[in-house]
A and B are shown apart, each in its own frame.
Chain A
Amino acid sequence: MRNPLAEKTVGLKPSGIRKFFDIVSEMKDAISLGVGEPDFDTPWHIRDEGIYSLEKGRTFYTSNAGLKELKVEISNYLKRRFQLRYDYNGEMLVTVGGSEAIDIALRAMVNPGDEVLIPQPSYVSYEPCAILAGAVPVIIDLKAEHEFRLTAQQLREAVTDKTKILVLPFPNNPTGAIMERKDLEAIAEVIVEKDIFVISDEIYGELTYKEKHVSIAEIPGMWERTILIGGLSKSHAMTGWRLGYACGPQLIIEQMLKIHQYAIMCAPTTSQYAAVDALKNGDEDVQQMREAYNQRRRYLLYAFQQMGLECFEPYGAFYVFPCIKEFGMTSEQFAERFLKEEKVAVVPGTAFGESGEGFLRISYAYSLENLKVAIGRLETFVRRLREEQGK
């Protein structure tokens, strides 16, 4: 029999998170700080709307680009929150989570051999999606000394004449880093000068704790070169509903729509009806969850400070990214020992790229009670390691 597999797929690295997941799931009594999704249930009024849509028999496909009602709400929302203008008709597409949008944006925009710039540490799907789209991923290593922001200089050094796209993953998973307006203005200059495009993954856009999130599409000259990706998973605690969207110039969106229509057909109908209600009546929920995350964020940073664990102050998403270099272990070794000895799961920074070495991703999408227990164990563990090292 011939080899049934495609080389490109076989060549993809398995997700570093998967490996860790397998170890954790064998330990039944382990507590986890390893999840990348909110601990809140989807607000009830949103769930109720989903249930209601089922009761009314709204169980058919919607149009490929999504329910008109939802697209109008997304358009209103982006204008209300970020001063962004997208016509619901033609400049927008409702997708199966932000993940699908990342995939089809890359597939719609790259030719074989085009280079796609991917700042890391970042979410695990950009690199494989770029490869599957036939592009060459080029990694930019974000640095702790820049608070894991992308600088104009780093961008300039990474661009070649083959560069087509920059993936911009802020607010960032796993570091919690944000890009403020001044940071975006600085890289926008390079982007325009080098004539490249941006796929801006702003799925955590509602979760910032310093100033309100600024989208790169707000920066002059960037709207026409940006595909903005958003969704309700993180902001409205709706991960399982699989509902995201992509917005951008019609020229690009209509090509993405072709892939979407052949591969997916449309985003889940129930989720789309629920999302209409989320965007219409959910601002208050988002605000409350943001406040809760912010309190936990402050608690963790304070706890790290108390135990002398180095950590830059992250202003976005729901992750902190402490540095563990002082212990002379790799992130993976640290995470494995911590899990075995203290039964707490955290994700090694390297699961999000080589440049995550020496760091851990700790999620604060957990109740404060839960965090307190886990942090108590981290303190014990850190003390033990320091004693071993004779400190």
Chain B
Amino acid sequence: MREQILAILEKNSRIDLKELAVLLGVEELDIVNEMAEMEKEGIICGYHTLIDWEKTSIDKVTALIEVRVTPQRGQGFDNIAERIYKYPEVTAVYLISGAYDLLVTLDGKNLRDISRFVSDKLSTMDYVLSTATHFILKKYKDHGTILTKKYEDEREKVSP
């Protein structure tokens, strides 16, 4: 049941729990308990809203930054990752396999905001060897949702 609850919530965190129970053919109370349990276990970490900021008048720039670092003895990458993720403008930090170590995503008002963060804060940190910043120009799809096109039903309206 957990997997099914999560699959639905991941797409629609605002779903009515009564309705969720109907869809899965279980009791509403079981859903409520299961969700509470998963919140406690840290499986469900939040209920967010997917926003296409492009369509608002609010200025927003998102950057992906590749960071190469020297791992620390006894700490690995955790220490440096923590120092980075504590900045509120950092929206995600991932440890990555391959040519670099950490992938940092960052929101800012404009390019200057981001470059200031990278040059002042990030690249000057101890153990950071290098950074490469990529600005996102257009979001086609985000969190499994296509942002550039609306679904249209092109089927014949009646068919056998």
Contact = CB atoms under 8 A, between A and B. Distances in A.
Q: Which of A30, A39, A125, A295 counts the most chain B CB atoms within 10 A?
A: A295
B24 A345 contact: no
Interface in A44-103: none
B157 A291 contact: no
B126 interface: no
A30 B160 contact: no
B32 interface: no
Interface in B81-123: none
Given A39-B153, A39-B155, A123 B160 contact: yes
Interface in A4-32: 15, 17, 20-21, 24-25, 30, 32
B158 interface: yes
B136 interface: no
Q: Which of A25, A302, A347, A370 counts the most chain B CB atoms within 10 A?
A: A302
B2 to A, nearest CB: 14
B4 A351 contact: no
Interface string B14-46: 000001001111000000000000000000000
B158 A345 contact: yes
A36 interface: yes
Interface string A110-127: 000000000000011100
Nearest to A296: B23
Contacts of A125: 160
Nearest to B23: A295
B156 interface: yes
Contacts of B23: 295-296, 298-299, 368
B160 A345 contact: no
B155 A21 contact: no
Contacts of A368: 23
A124 B158 CA distance: 13
A147 interface: no
A108 interface: no
A36 B157 contact: no
B159 interface: yes
A299 B23 CA distance: 6
Nearest to A17: B160
B155 A35 contact: yes
29 contacts: A17-B158, A20-B158, A21-B156, A21-B157, A21-B158, A21-B159, A24-B157, A24-B158, A25-B158, A32-B157, A35-B157, A35-B159, A36-B159, A36-B160, A37-B155, A37-B159, A39-B155, A123-B160, A124-B160, A291-B7, A295-B8, A295-B23, A295-B24, A296-B23, A298-B22, A298-B25, A299-B19, A299-B23, A366-B153
Interface of A: 15, 17, 20-21, 24-25, 30, 32, 34-37, 39, 123-125, 173, 291, 295-296, 298-299, 302, 345, 347, 351, 366, 368, 370
Given A124-B160, A366-B153, 8 more contacts: A17-B160, A20-B158, A21-B157, A36-B159, A173-B160, A295-B23, A298-B24, A298-B25
